[in-house]
Structures are given as C-alpha cells and as structure tokens.
Amino acid sequence: MIGRLNHIAIAVPDLAAASATYRDSLGARVSEPLDLPEHGVTTVFVELANTKIELLYPLGAESPIGRFLERNPAGGVHHVCYEVEDIHAARDRLMDRGARVLGGGEPTIGAHGKPVLFLHPKDFSGTLIELEQA
Ligand code: CO
C-alpha cells in the first residue's frame, strides 16, 4: 500500500544552525525558511536525489514541535512520511486492522497542499507516520 518515502521530518532547536549544517557540512540544497502557521511550524526543505528532509522549527505557542523539543532539546526525528495513492482507502485499511489514526481519521491538508493523515506512534514501532496522498 505505501509507496515512496516522501520525506523525513527532523525537529530542530535552531533552524539557522541546522540549515547551515545541511548546506555547508553535508553539501545539500537547502530552501529558505517557510512559515506554515496552520501547522505551527517553520520549515526548511532539504532536497535530496531520492527524497526530502524537512527541518521543523516551532511557530507559535501551540506548536506540536515545541512540545517535542521540550522532551528532545537537541532535536530529533519527528516523523516519516510515506506516499499512498488513496488516503481514504489507506485509512480504512489501517482502521480495520486496529491502527489508531490521529485527529479522528479525517485527512487534513498537509505542508505540501495534499491530503495527509498521521498514525499513532505506539502502533508503528515508536515512529510517528504521516501518510500523504501523492
Ligand atoms: Co511531514
């Protein structure tokens, strides 16, 4: 059911420093910061040949990334995003198998303007999974 790895999201405590590390030390192509207020994040996209890395920094007091960084002050992998062809079919399959879909199970529009869902980390080896309809 899942297809390509769309991105890996990494929460960072210092967006400029993390961007510089990816650009200067790792030699990657790095975007300018982009504020996504509806998601409570500022993001920097690192373009790789086969996928993307998204550096996430909290935006606003209610940011989910702010809470994550309180528990992980040095930053860390926040979620992985897999592509699916049909997000409703994917949701139904997962819920039928007992997986917990966050936020009531209705897809929302994600950071790339496409429908997304998040799956409970406790059902997936401690990893927060985002599904994005490709
Ligand atoms: Co994501």
Task: State pLDDT tens for residues 65-110.
Answer: 999 999 999 999 999 999 999 999 999 999 999 999 998 899 999 8
| Spatial distance between the Cα atoms of 132 and 6, rounded to a whole number of angstroms | 8
Residue 130 is a catalytic residue = yes
Q: How far is the CA of 42 from the centre of ligand 1 (A)?
A: 12
Q: How far is the CA of 50 from the centre of ligand 1 (A)?
A: 16
Q: How far is the CA of 7 from the centre of ligand 1 (A)?
A: 7
Secondary structure (3-state) at 42: strand
CA–CA distances in Å: residue 75 to residues 44, 120, 130: 14, 20, 19
The predicted model scores a pTM of: 0.94
In which band, very low, low, confident or very high, does the pLDDT at 115 lie, cut at 50, 70 and 90?
very high
Q: Which two tokens stand for residue 3?
A: 């297809």
Q: Which two tokens stand for residue 47?
A: 């373009």
pLDDT at 131 over 90: yes
CATH T-level topology, domain 5-133: 2,3-Dihydroxybiphenyl 1,2-Dioxygenase; domain 1 (3.10.180)
Q: Which two tokens stand for residue 32?
A: 């300018």
Nearest Cα neighbor of 57 from 96, 112, 21, 13 is 13
Nearest Cα neighbor of 80 from 8, 1, 3, 6 is 8
pLDDT at 41 over 90: yes
The domain spans of the chain are 5-133
